[in-house]
Structure 1
């Protein structure tokens, strides 16, 4: 598991900050964690998934208002995947389709491939949002949020104060 990246403040505090190496990270915008508004294109079916993803992202401190578009697209993809999965379950994995000569031939349901392609897109988008295990290992959370939300954070803050005193 890779070591999580230190924030600019941590690098400066430890004396390991190098402007030529870390300078671009300092110029990145630091947006506050906020629940984004639902885009207008999100369907009624997908709105449930949108709200669930936003709630998870806010709890993980990784979602900002700027993420509304990608979360809306992700929610729409999930809603379409659920619909395709329901079709596959009702129609079955094998369906009868007419051939060019008019005979009925049993073949694999073509919706399975579309459903699986949607799943690949969903997993990629989850990774972009930092909601997959591999992506979470790369996400840096504000030190302030870490300290306030966890018992370990409280312990580390107390230990740091004690060492500095």
Structure 2
């Protein structure tokens, strides 16, 4: 879109409320996105949501690795039930949010082709052809 607003590019400041892991991933992802020309100062909040979803997802993965995906419990009558660990459900929810945010930044193979990276101004071949005809 040639009339699209052009916000200032560059890596936004890391949110102060992030823990050590959040700060690491914010900086790393921001640098990676900036290197391919899709990061701007206005993307700070969207990147913050992406990093929050990612760190939450990793936290649930770590919990499940230690505690397992299921747990046993007994009913009042003594029957044994095997239930899904609550972290498994939270992990699935975090994955949905993470996947959506990865797509917004073109960080999956399928979504990468839909993101326009800022690159050097290229000449549009159709415009060049039409101008040559005049």
With the shorter chain as reference, the TM-score category is 0.7 to 0.9
SS at 1:144 equivalent: coil
Are 2:25 and 2:51, in contact at CA under 8 Å, matched by a contact in 1? yes
Aligned counterpart in structure 2 of residue 138 of structure 1, from 100, 110, 114: 114
Aligned counterpart in structure 1 of residue 81 of structure 2, from 105, 109, 118: 105
Any unmatched runs of 5+ in structure 1?
1-24, 147-165
Which residue of structure 1 lines up, in the alignment, with residue 125 of structure 2?
none
Alignment RMSD (CA, Å): 2.1
SS at 1:97 equivalent: strand
- CA shift for structure 1 position 39: 2.5
Which stretches of structure 1, 4 residues or more, deviate above 3 A after TM superposition? none
- 1:116 and 1:33 map into 2 onto residues whose CA distance is 33
1:144-159 correspondence to structure 2 within 5 Å: 144=120
Aligned counterpart in structure 2 of residue 129 of structure 1, from 95, 105, 128: 105
Aligned counterpart in structure 2 of residue 38 of structure 1, from 11, 14, 17: 14
Task: Give the TM-score normalised by the residue count of structure 1.
Answer: 0.65
Matched positions, count: 121
Residues 60 and 108 of structure 1, relative CA distance in 2, 3 Å threshold: same
Task: Give the TM-score normalised by the residue count of structure 2.
Answer: 0.78
Which residue of structure 1 lines up, in the alignment, with residue 63 of structure 2?
87
- CA shift for structure 1 position 96: 1.9
Residues 90 and 59 of structure 1, relative CA distance in 2, 3 Å threshold: same
